[in-house]
Amino acid sequence: MNRDDTTPTPAEERLVGALADREDQAVEAALRPKDLGEFIGQEKVREQLDLVLRAARARGATADHVLLSGAPGLGKTTLSMIIAAEMGAPIRITSGPAIQHAGDLASILSSLQEGEVLFLDEIHRMSRPAEEMLYMAMEDFRVDVIVGKGPGATAIPLELPPFTLVGATTRAGLLPPPLRDRFGFTAHMEFYAPHELERVVHRSASLLDVVIEPDGAAEIAGRSRGTPRIANRLLRRVRDYAQVKADGVITREIAAAALAVYEVDARGLDRLDRAVLEALLKLFGGGPVGLSTLAVAVGEERETVEEVAEPFLVREGLLARTPRGRVATPAAWAHLGLTPPHAPAAGNGQQDLFGA
């Protein structure tokens, strides 16, 4: 059967998707601040980090190891690049899941230059053998490479040039104390206030050569979940809408209409967030209901609901975690315009099937 020449093949669709992702990554890279002066928000972290870096430069020494924790999209990767730029040093980027063996880490460490910044994203997901090797590398700038196996194995010490490790994690509690204690400076990244996100949106709009009115920036900032990465992503989608449906200028009305098309409501809830709330309210009477059951109800993986939707819903006061399961708050019923049942769902005895 002949295929319509205008219909893309699966391979072509994957290629288009990959190119789009690459374009988004290029845009995100262009929007990243290049130094601490350009970095918006996180005032306390910026002040503390500036002191650490300025003192290291004054001593002519390598900066202390830095641990950055916080939710995704708050600027941990950007700060690691700024640290390298402020120290005039190259940066090497890798991630915890990519280091599954001590040899993987030894290969990276042995190729570092003096003063180089090693950015280790998702450091809490690094394997235990690599983690134990990292202790000595951070403290003594050396590693022991094991040659051979069994009784004849020999440990060969390998000296490393002084370097700065910047670790990033979204789960600081999973880091063992011996690793956490080896960082000279630790910082927790907080969610952004709306006025800070407005500054982020205005800066990004200027770099993208987009005309945006103050109320348009406020509308985007208010739906960005306290996260600059989301603010920049929404700005790009609103820009597309403004170019196609309007005169290219982003006003409050244009921003609201565009975000409605992309299913982002006035509080920043997206399709998945609303699906979770609707399932919790309409199918389970507001809960309590187990996370696995809730995930099945919305057709998503348990981890997706737990790590993507749930933290924001809890932070917004729309969902609560209890020993018996997830429970909707009165604010959730009000947000979806629904009326809660007279009798609480937890009293019917059937919810025990769902678990916590």
**Which of the residues are catalytic?**
76-77, 121, 170, 229
How far is Cα 335 from Cα 316, in angstroms, rounded to an integer? 11
How far is Cα 215 from Cα 12, in angstroms, rounded to an integer? 40
Tokens standing for residue 149:
């196996």
What's the gap between Cα 333 and its chain centre? 28
| 91, 119 Cβ separation under 8 angstroms | yes
Residue 126 burial (CB < 10 Å; 0-12/13-18/19+)?
Answer: buried
Strand ranges (DSSP E) for the chain?
A: 66-69, 91-95, 117-121, 142-147, 154-159, 164-169, 185-188, 319-322, 325-328
Buried/exposed code over 74-111 (b: 16+ C-beta within 10 A; e: otherwise): bbbbbbbbbbbbbbebebbebebeebeebebbbebbee
For 36, half-sphere exposure in the C-beta direction (CA atoms, 13 angstrom radius) is 17
What Cα–Cα distance (Å) separates residue 233 from each residue in 27, 114, 312?
10, 36, 17
What's the gap between Cα 192 and its chain centre? 13
